[in-house]
A and B are shown apart, each in its own frame.
Chain A
């Protein structure tokens, strides 16, 4: 299966390991993976700050990079949701629509499209799972605590298959961590308070790692953890699914 990678800007620049793990994981699962070299960003930081009007050229660049792609896979729920909800073009709307219907967040791509019989990852640690809002409520990667619906979770379905993993879910299973894009700097006090409260449950339950499908939220928590010299580390779900013996 041919897959085109969309690697969000901050992952490209600050967390290349997450992108490498995504690429290797998809290859392990039998995909032929390509990466368009002129990609930059989905434009979400502009749009969520109220400047969607400035993102036309960014959108066009996105379409230039991905209009020929079949499946587009991205290791971020938030960026995937932004493309799905807001990608548009004055002259190439049909191409934008095709992209919007072909883009997947990594874990949903694995559970819904690839459907591998089994995963061969192993990760013998206690791992807390952070549910990020945009992937959950926007892409519906898992059931939501506010809605009366059958319980499910695409990322947990995958993590449950990892050998040796001891998964932990926080009490407030889907309360926001406080990253929120530029919210994390413009509303610094609230953002950090929300992050600290999220972390507390993981720390008191002695997890080794906090994982999730959005590096942005993990980056925010990592910043707080490191400042407070916590022993808890953060890791993206792709890195866990790509870990272990199988090559």
Chain B
């Protein structure tokens, strides 16, 4: 097994044409909902601008706002922990859990804990973690990773969910009724919620001014977990900070509209201090983010509020599925973030893109996503991860295009080959030709036509003059 590559994984995905069409249609529908929701707000483009500027300001003063946040959170009775990387994040959380003696816990959706592979880590320590977001729970049962950051099980159809539930919680075989399946999930998860004394959550926004956090869900599962728990551990990347509660009003208007086309998520819950007798911890994680922060080219990617609008609009994502990106965060934003974590393993991702630019247009914080992918491409070839064949062919191409005579000679050879020796290009080794015909080769290039035309016009003029 070679390393996973987007072009091959997507070929496998597309092989099931009906499923691909269904995936594409489903996500396009979400994109259309987003279009409608945003069109209902006359000041939408201004909100995006403001959100982008607030994030730019915050990122420029991140050290300040993080320490203000810590101070205020501490004053509220929250314990703040700092993790430089995924390993530290997991160790800190394990440390907290060990002290409590609790062995089973619930977790609401958090892409950061996915990024740090927290579930696997805790399970290896003999602990039981149940993901309570419905989509997350389904993929947890299936031992898969999310294919989308907002709709983690969007790659699955009703039948797949039914089969999974039948296997794990003994629902009726082939009962694909969504209501039946969600009710079964509800009953099963309720029991786990009630028994669980520890809740792990993500964070959508951390407000420096108040030292509190905001968690947005549609299922209320974060609230349910936290309310019943003696210990709440919230995990956040350093970029989740915003300066003031005032600014939240902008982000909350943008987030759900961009994500699903809802005006707002069903629950936008503020957690500012622990209940009496409850412990509340916040783990603040770097894990490569300061590398992005220190890089002019990619700093803007830290503005991301994880709405996944770029996923839904991306034609490549819609038609190739999240798992083709072989990483926790798929889609356009993932193709920026993943090479930062491991450039070699993710060198293919910035190329899984046509640079169409739709992602940058839907981004609620105006990240110039497609431009950053272009820059990653340069970085990848510079660091030698483009592959030998590609590097060589690019050198040849550069030579041809830099020398007009060579360009013209090569052009002639190419056209003549197409015309008289078509089998050289019309074969299975040419990826263009596999499912597409080659263009018909004209006898003359435009330049040749142009020169001939100039000559004949010159002659005509002289004949006129002479006569």
Contact = CB atoms under 8 A, between A and B. Distances in A.
Contacts of B10: 187, 189-190
Nearest to B314: A176
A223 B438 contact: yes
Interface string A111-144: 0000000000000000000000110011000001
Given A176-B358, A184-B432, A222-B439, A54 B394 contact: yes
Contacts of A57: 398, 401-403
B274 interface: no
B436 A223 contact: yes
Most buried by B among A185, A189, A195, A224: A189
Nearest to B362: A146
Contact of B351 (A35, A43, A137, A186): A186
B294 interface: no
B212 to A, nearest CB: 32
B377 A50 contact: yes
Q: Chain A interface mostly helix, strand, loop or mixed?
A: helix
A180 B316 CA distance: 11
Given A37-B451, A133-B356, A187-B10, A17 B442 contact: yes
Contacts of A192: 434-436
Interface string A14-42: 11110110010000000000010111110
Interface in B344-372: 350-358, 360-362
A174 to B, nearest CB: 8
A243 interface: no
A223 B358 contact: no
Interface string A48-75: 1111111101101100000000000000
B35 A40 contact: no
Given A49-B394, A183-B353, A190-B320, A12 B411 contact: yes
Q: How large is the interface on B (under 10, 10 to 19, 20 to 34, 35 or more residues)?
A: 35 or more
B315 A9 contact: no
Given A57-B398, A224-B435, A16 B319 contact: no
Contacts of A134: 355, 357
A45 interface: yes
Given A14-B442, A52-B378, A193 B14 contact: yes
B187 interface: no
B353 A13 contact: no
Contact of A41 (B45, B352, B374, B401): B401
A194 interface: yes
B415 interface: yes
Contact of B394 (A46, A184, A185): A46
Contacts of A180: 353-356
Nearest to B354: A180
Most buried by B among A23, A57, A190: A190
A137 B407 contact: no
A35 B432 CA distance: 31
Nearest to A180: B354
A49 B377 contact: yes
Contacts, number: 211
Interface stretch (B66-74, B103-111, B380-388, B459-467): B380-388
Contacts of A220: 436
B94 interface: no
A175 interface: yes
Contacts of B379: 50
Given A61-B402, A176-B315, A224 B436 contact: yes
B377 A48 contact: yes
B378 A53 contact: yes
Contacts of B395: 54
B404 A61 contact: yes
B390 A49 contact: yes
Most buried by A among B42, B395, B447: B447
Contacts of B382: 50, 53
Nearest to B46: A148
A179 interface: yes
B398 A51 contact: yes
A14 B444 CA distance: 9
Contacts of B378: 47, 50-53
Contact of A183 (B11, B351, B414, B434): B351
A195 B432 CA distance: 12
A2 interface: no
A176 B404 contact: no
Interface in B158-180: none
B407 A9 contact: yes
Contact of B315 (A7, A43, A178, A189): A178
A90 interface: no
Given A50-B379, A188-B434, 18 more contacts: A9-B401, A9-B411, A12-B446, A15-B439, A19-B446, A19-B450, A40-B401, A40-B404, A49-B386, A50-B351, A54-B395, A58-B402, A147-B361, A175-B315, A188-B432, A193-B14, A194-B315, A226-B436
16 contacts: A7-B446, A11-B446, A13-B411, A14-B442, A16-B444, A38-B404, A48-B374, A51-B386, A137-B360, A175-B358, A183-B354, A185-B431, A189-B7, A192-B434, A197-B24, A222-B437
